[in-house]
Structure 1
Amino acid sequence: MATNAGFYVTLPSNASKDVFKNNTSSNYTVDLAKAIELNGEWEVGLCEIIYPHTWYTLPRDNAYIELMEISDEAVMPSEKDDPNHTKPGELLIIQKFSRGGYYDKPKDLLDQIVPKLIKYDPTAEAVYNNVTKCIDFKGSGRYKIRAQAPLAYMLGLKPDIIQYQPIGDSYSPLLSVVNVKGGFGDVLSIEDKVYTEILPLSAITDGGHIEFFIPGDGEKYLDLNDTLLHLRLKITNADGTDLANDAAVGLINYPLNTMFSQCDVILGDRLISQSSATHPYRAMIETLLNYSEDTLKSQFSAGLFYKDTAGALDSIVTNNGPNRGLNSRAAFSANSREIHLFGPLHGDVFFCERLLLNSVDMRIKLTRASDAFCLMGARDSLFRLRILGASLFVKKVTVSPAIRLGHAAALLRGNALYPLSRVNVKTYSIPANSRICNQENLFLGAMPKYVVLGMVHHEAFTGRRDLSPFNFVHNNVEYLALCQDGRQVPAKAFQPQFNQGSSVREFYNMFIATGRHLKDLPLSINREEFNDGYSLFVFNLTPGDDNDALSPVSNGNLRLEMRFRVALPHTTTLIVYACYDSILEINSKRQVLVDYY
């Protein structure tokens, strides 16, 4: 197989025996089907040897078969027979071969076995089955045949738990494989893994940031997909005293991530994350549009995700109030009890499934949002949110030395590539009393693969205790479309009538744009909730509506057109969530290169 950067040749052992009849495991050669001409300078070396050992050399002391004559009466074996091989009602007969050693073809093995069988059963025959690649025995039925390993494997006499596995370019039933872990064809190159707890670089202060530093390890890789944050929180009065029994205060939804306005990630000395105070909206939108309600209720409850009740997101009643999500979260923090949160961070590299190369430093800085943003309560309340402790659990993986050496050699020829779904969150302010919102150059240059639009109260966005920052209102929008270089998306603009409860097309488009159409992949938002606090408008800009596939990056201009049925009663903040296909590169000097920022 040849490529622009190199070539490889597969040399199957079962294709060389006819040419080199004296091949052994210690002296192996192969004849290429045709010559390979290499023009210029090439480095050629052995990449991998796969030695499945699909045929066995038969030791001389194992070159025998056991015939067991079926009898109605128990017959005791002779003294020379092994009692362990005999059962009541069976007579054991041992027939030895003339030789052990290597058998080139099944026929050679049959030539040794069949004459021994015919001595006791004239009707006995043995045929090599080309379909199953096993030897089928037939006879009068008076005898059972048994053999010890490795002859049993050569004859195809295997227990039921053994299954066949394709090896190389041939299908060999002679290799017994029990599938313990991994899938067929997987390369098991990971030797070990361990979660390491990383503590902050400095003491945690109220309103300050939390910074973690993970030094690059010379041997271990990082599995960033399994990076987990642990927080210990406490809500107190303004003077630091514990809350009263009737204190009406609770955390906003999913505080593990939404209590931080910004999450900066630095690999090596390169900032690879977006520098804007929109991290809470990124985390909330990704959570709502990627996981089912069952998953949010179970797994994400560790991060204190308790879904707010549609139509009651701005409720500040924490004891049997209409917002069941706030009630649940407030119960955890009542009387200033210490709250433990645990779960994943939201960031581009934390959703990458490829291991981060060894010897690459990583730094993570989490910036706190204001208490007015993080806490729900009376508008003039002065409750405080304190961080008592924080730690980061990083999964370090030990790969096999051969893999590390292979990566080091490959890095001399090219960079390591990490495909990322890069997220960019923008905000736009829409003044009060507006009925039209047209945003020119919403995105200019590289086009995102999909866009999510949501609107929140501007004061909730900046931090107001009696307003939920995640109350995505529809504001009676009556016309909504994107225009990409003169092409309208969707071709027929969205024209919902929220005043009449007619928004089913916009609701169902969430499933189409996120790749859930006609699939058993539910979202946590239903039709009624979409109209009452969860109005997220999703646009898929990929050619085939496939968010998982890498699409060619296109350049252009994206424009937003939006009209409202009635004038906006207050200033509104438009949240624009955009996702791009991007590539992060790391070279042999562990320098990090990106094609953005």
Structure 2
Amino acid sequence: MCVLLLIFAILLHATLTVNAIKCWEGLSAKVQMPLGTKSDNVNVNLWVLTECEAGTELIKMTCKLEPGLKDQSKVMIENLDRSVLYGWKDNQNEQSELAFNSAFNVFAVPPTNVSVNRSFFRELLPLSTISQEGPYLFRMFNDNLWSDMSRVYLFLELVIVKEDGAQRKPIDADDPLVAPIQCIGQTFVQQLKVEVQNTELYDSGTLYPYKAYMTNELSFSDNVKGHFMASSGHYPSLKHDDATDAGFLARCRRFAGGRKARFISRLDFDLGNQELYLLNNMDVLFTIYRAKDAFLLQCLEGGQNNGTQYGLYLHDIKLYVKMVEVQPSLNMSIYKTLERQPATYAVRKTEVKSVYLSAGRTEMEYNIFSAAIPRRVTIALVLNRAFNGHLAHSPFNFRPYSIRDISVHAAGQAYPAVPYRMNFADAAYIRPFVDMYEALGMANSERSMDITLDQFHDGWTFFVVPLTSTLDDSCGFELLRSGTTSIRLQFNADIPAGGVEMIVLGEFDQLIMIDYNRHIVSDSKIA
């Protein structure tokens, strides 16, 4: 009897060895052969599946490697019940795929970048002599280098001066505290135009400072604004139009005693807000118009009305653009592809508009966009005299002005669907505050632009309204919707004397296509 059992065990072992050593979904176990040993003397321990009277069970078996194998042998296992393999048959969903910790991938090697020979920043000088009126033109001539439009930096060297008879001289210690407005490295620019191959791809209009400021305030945390963005003259403030504010005093110190201040900031334009390189052999022209001194400067203490005229003197202006030298073989491959299809750049097109709200009104509606319906609209209100430039008022002091309700109407729909019914005097404005974070994708997230609830009430009142189908800021295109987009406002009190300016930032889908001959087609009607 014992002999029969022994023979049965041997036959069962042989059967398991034949049936179990197979391929299981590409998962392999590499067995390293000890040096100086014969292949038929190496044993491998495997967990294999076997059927018995009690059901399916996992057993450990030892098998010998096939003779003739050299330094390594690959043992593949197939048809193992995954739940039994891990001992969790009762707890694992049969539709769940297996997962392995990437920390065990000790045989992988990172990929090697073979597409780029080198990269560097090219300095562009103005095409004409620097004047205080502008405009300033910079041309990037076509060559065999690709360019990174997201790395176009504006360099400025500025000093605050005052009128002294017929001359202008730098301010000194006897002058009252005078500072530039927030983020002067960007807000110095009143209008930016970008032409590629004699085709205008971007024109900010005369509201570029508002686009730059609103983008910064609604995109970056205080950690970024207070550290890296000091290079562009951004110092976080807690209160606008306050001579004791830390941000205002920090901006004063940059120019104290007539010092020259230098700034570097990234140009904010649509093509530069995407990561794809611009094709080589492209001629690019940047045209920059500066803002007026009354808009750019603030003086918040005694002496601001003593008749002294202050100005911002430009000593130097340059552009720095990142250039990329691509491998010749890759260039040829892209050329051949361009013969069949154009290069495509998906960008987020932006438009900034302003609407004057006259004093004494409590309700109004304006048609702000008349073609495509935007993906998202950002609205802010500022005093008209600050908008036009005033030493005592920041042009970025966005306040609620007793607003009760604000809504965007497009394609027969109202956004938000339920009216806000705000009352800032009674601290009833929590919904638009939460909606601001929701629309920017920062609600319930570690990402934040660090605008507090108190700041939202006092100087940072932004109404951000998403118009996408999901009300989320997804990275893909939305279905094309055409029609008029209007904004309706209602106030609890009359608009103050002098009137208020409404700033509206709209965002749209746009596709830019460039063919083999470098002809450019821009299509905002994405379906």
* TM-score relative to the length of structure 1: 0.70
CA deviation profile, 1:453-492 (whole Å, cap 9, x unmatched): 1111111111112111000111110111111132111101
Matched, 1:483 2:409: yes
Q: 1:230 aligns with which of 131, 148, 155?
A: 155
Q: Aligned letter for 1:426?
A: K
Output aligned runs, 1:254-265, within 5 Å: 254-265=183-194
Output aligned runs, 1:41-120, within 5 Å: 67=35, 94=36, 113-115=38-40, 118=41
SS in 2 for 1:278: helix
SS in 2 for 1:493: coil
Aligned position for 1:449:
375
Aligned position for 1:134:
none
Matched, 1:579 2:501: no
Checking the alignment, whether the CA contact within 8 Å between 2:162 and 2:308 is kept in structure 1 is no
CA distance in 2, matches of 1:365, 1:422: 18
Matched, 1:178 2:103: no
Measured on the aligned residues, the alpha-carbon RMSD in Å equals: 2.9
Aligned position for 2:287:
365
Checking the alignment, whether the CA contact within 8 Å between 2:411 and 2:482 is kept in structure 1 is no
Aligned position for 1:540:
466
Aligned position for 2:278:
356
SS in 2 for 1:291: coil
Return the offset for 1:211: 1.5
CA distance in 2, matches of 1:326, 1:199: 31
Aligned position for 1:121:
none
Q: Aligned pair in 2 of structure 1 residues 414, 565: CA closer, same or farther (>3 Å)?
A: same
Q: 1:435 aligns with which of 349, 355, 362?
A: 362
Q: Aligned pair in 2 of structure 1 residues 500, 249: CA closer, same or farther (>3 Å)?
A: same
Aligned position for 1:297:
226
CA deviation profile, 1:196-243 (whole Å, cap 9, x unmatched): 11111122111212221111222x211111222221111112232221
Q: 1:340 aligns with which of 239, 258, 262?
A: 262
Number of aligned residue pairs: 443
Checking the alignment, whether the CA contact within 8 Å between 1:153 and 1:174 is kept in structure 2 is no
Output aligned runs, 1:584-595, within 5 Å: 584-595=512-523
Matched, 1:288 2:206: no
Return the offset for 1:259: 1.1
Aligned position for 2:420:
494
CA distance in 2, matches of 1:549, 1:324: 40
Return the offset for 1:293: 1.1
CA deviation profile, 1:118-174 (whole Å, cap 9, x unmatched): 4xxxxx4357999xxxxxx989xxxxxxxxxxx867779xxxxxxxxxxxxxxxx99
* TM-score relative to the length of structure 2: 0.78
Q: 1:384 aligns with which of 277, 298, 311?
A: 311
Task: List gaps (5 residues or longer) in structure 1.
Answer: 1-53, 55-63, 68-93, 96-112, 119-123, 131-136, 140-150, 157-172
Q: Aligned pair in 2 of structure 1 residues 138, 542: CA closer, same or farther (>3 Å)?
A: same
CA distance in 1, matches of 2:44, 2:253: 75
Return the offset for 1:327: 0.6
CA distance in 2, matches of 1:579, 1:153: 59
Return the offset for 1:271: 1.0
Higher RCO structure, 1 or 2 (CA under 8 Å, sep 6+)? 2
Q: 1:211 aligns with which of 137, 141, 144?
A: 137
SS in 2 for 1:355: coil
CA distance in 1, matches of 2:46, 2:121: 52
Checking the alignment, whether the CA contact within 8 Å between 2:46 and 2:62 is kept in structure 1 is no
Checking the alignment, whether the CA contact within 8 Å between 1:154 and 1:174 is kept in structure 2 is no
Aligned position for 2:15:
none
Q: 1:527 aligns with which of 420, 444, 453?
A: 453
Aligned position for 1:125:
43
Aligned position for 1:8:
none
Q: Aligned letter for 2:109?
A: V
Return the offset for 1:516: 1.5
SS in 2 for 1:314: coil
Checking the alignment, whether the CA contact within 8 Å between 2:363 and 2:490 is kept in structure 1 is yes
Return the offset for 1:549: 2.6
Checking the alignment, whether the CA contact within 8 Å between 2:204 and 2:352 is kept in structure 1 is no
Aligned position for 1:78:
none
CA distance in 1, matches of 2:253, 2:109: 50
Aligned position for 2:11:
none
CA distance in 2, matches of 1:373, 1:568: 23
Identical positions, percent: 24
CA distance in 1, matches of 2:400, 2:381: 7
Task: List gaps (5 residues or longer) in structure 2.
Answer: 1-27, 49-60, 64-69, 76-103
SS in 2 for 1:335: helix
CA distance in 2, matches of 1:473, 1:352: 32
Q: Aligned letter for 1:382?
A: Q
Q: 1:564 aligns with which of 475, 491, 496?
A: 491
